[in-house]
Structure 1
Amino acid sequence: MNKTSLSIALLLLVILSAFSLREPTVLIIGDSISIGYTPFVKEHFAGKASIVHNPGNAQHTGTGLEKIAEWLGEEDWDIVQFNWGLWDLAYRHPDAKAYGNRDKVNGKVTYTVDEYAANLDSLVTYIKSKTDAKLIFVTTTYVPSEEVGRFTSDVKKYNTAAKKIMKKHGVIVNDIYKKSIKIHKEYGVGSNDVHYRPEGYQMLSESISSFLEKELGMK
């Protein structure tokens, strides 16, 4: 082997070695529930995968349509995990005193089930056009009955609509809804709040991390 061939061989070896050492990259897009469990997911994958959450709160599907291009950026993602729902099914009224103007008695829903489904359809279509990443949709979590701006029963309706859209596009679904009910009843902030105490987010993260590990081929 001459010097030129040897140099090329060594260069290819370096490139292949660098590629094999590359950590897989995962983008998590979601609301405050995902913001709560993402630090635990990052800790779980430390040294094994790069976990990135979209800047801030992804809110509802309308916000997603406005910012999805920015969130995806130019990164070569291996997985894009996303969720919208809690904000979409929230009722709000400008005069309501509850945080975020939530009011399921006098307010108007952010997006109806049909509007939510249409927005998800557009979002998935766009994401698939911009990345070859594996896509994972995470279902919306539990809403306790005393929540002032959301109906408990709406979650199942919105999740059912979302699953139909994901099936249409061949998107994998990580259905954490049933698990979230039990976790919330033990580790939720309260019967009038959709959020969780740290222990609750840690438990939710286990379902997220385990699913991601499987889809990344780590288990």
Structure 2
Amino acid sequence: MITTALLVLGGLFLPGLSPSASAAEDLASKEELYTGKEYREAFQNPQDDPSRPNVLLIGDSISNAYTVDVRKKLHGQADVFRIPGNGKNSAYGLANLNKWLSMKPGKWDVIHFNWGLWDLCYRNPESKVQGYRDKVHGTITATPEEFRSNLEKIVARLKKTDATLIWCTITPVPEGEAGRKLGDDLKYNRIAEEIMRANDIQINDLHAHALLALPEIKIKEGDVHFTKEGSRYLAGKVASEIAQVISKKKETQP
């Protein structure tokens, strides 16, 4: 049985994409997954095909939005899974990591992960903006020091899986974002890069890839999210990174 698997982490919230954990555990058949309505649902996970690598995507709404297209681009090459719901911030990820790693099929050989957009977001309970975002009077979710500490612990745990790890950089923060400051995406990406370099972890620069197509692919001014075409564009980069890892693993298998 081939046990190669990939875990993709990273994400924000998109309306309508918050099924319960139990629902996400229900595995869809290949027919449902690739031809039916469920194919369009990011949280409908495939049955484990022993002949193919397994890919698990974990993350926020950015990864939620590109999951289905990654699944489609890797159809026939890998079974693409993802966590139930939103990966949120690094503290939430650290608290839930063991549970996510134990999801079916439970064996991950390649992990592609991301956090950051939630971490660097300022929130204020008095704010009237969606998500209580407020970069003027709000409190940051995770300071750079907290982000570093959480990410170091996450990496240490992920390394215990013996998986090939791929870090996905934080996508751009646009001008006018209500709860996020310009340049913080770069600051937090630098922190993450230091950790990944120190641990010999591959980096997928989705930030740079997104910049090549902005502003055309942004969903609206001041929003970190992307259009459907934009998410499909990001999916191409993610799927390409995963496919390269799968190819290299096949070359080294006896």
Q: Same fold (TM over 0.5)?
A: yes
Match of 1:58 among 68, 84, 87: 87
The aligned counterpart of 1:40 is 69
- Give the letter aligned to residue 48 of structure 1: Q
More helix by share: 1
Match of 1:169 among 199, 203, 206: 199
Residue-by-residue CA offset, 1:21-43 (whole Å, 9 max, x unaligned): 62001222211000111110000
- Secondary structure (helix, strand or coil) at the match of 2:56 reads strand
Larger radius of gyration: 1
Which stretch has the larger CA shift, 76-85 or 34-43? 76-85
Q: Report if the CA contact (8 A) 1:184-1:196 is conserved.
A: no
CA distance in 2, matches of 1:197, 1:214: 26
Residue-by-residue CA offset, 1:157-193 (whole Å, 9 max, x unaligned): 0000001011122211101112212334101111211
- Secondary structure (helix, strand or coil) at the match of 1:186 reads coil
- Give the letter aligned to residue 98 of structure 2: A
After TM superposition, give the deviation of residue 80 of structure 1 in Å.
1.3
Q: Report if the CA contact (8 A) 1:93-1:102 is conserved.
A: yes
The aligned counterpart of 2:24 is none
The aligned counterpart of 2:60 is 31
CA distance in 2, matches of 1:21, 1:64: 28
After TM superposition, give the deviation of residue 46 of structure 1 in Å.
1.1
CA distance in 1, matches of 2:119, 2:214: 20
Which stretch has the larger CA shift, 180-189 or 136-145? 180-189
Which stretch has the larger CA shift, 70-79 or 148-157? 70-79
The aligned counterpart of 2:234 is 204
How big is the alpha-carbon RMSD for the aligned residues of Structure 1 and Structure 2?
Answer: 1.8
Identity, % of aligned pairs? 38
After TM superposition, give the deviation of residue 127 of structure 1 in Å.
1.5
- Secondary structure (helix, strand or coil) at the match of 2:189 reads helix
- Secondary structure (helix, strand or coil) at the match of 2:149 reads helix
Q: Report if the CA contact (8 A) 1:141-1:176 is conserved.
A: yes
Q: Does 1:178 align with 2:208?
A: yes
- Give the letter aligned to residue 143 of structure 2: T
Superposed counterparts of 1:116-131, under 5 Å: 116-129=147-160, 131=161
Which stretch has the larger CA shift, 175-184 or 196-205? 175-184
Consecutive unaligned residues in structure 1, runs of 5 or more = 1-14
Which stretch has the larger CA shift, 175-184 or 153-162? 175-184
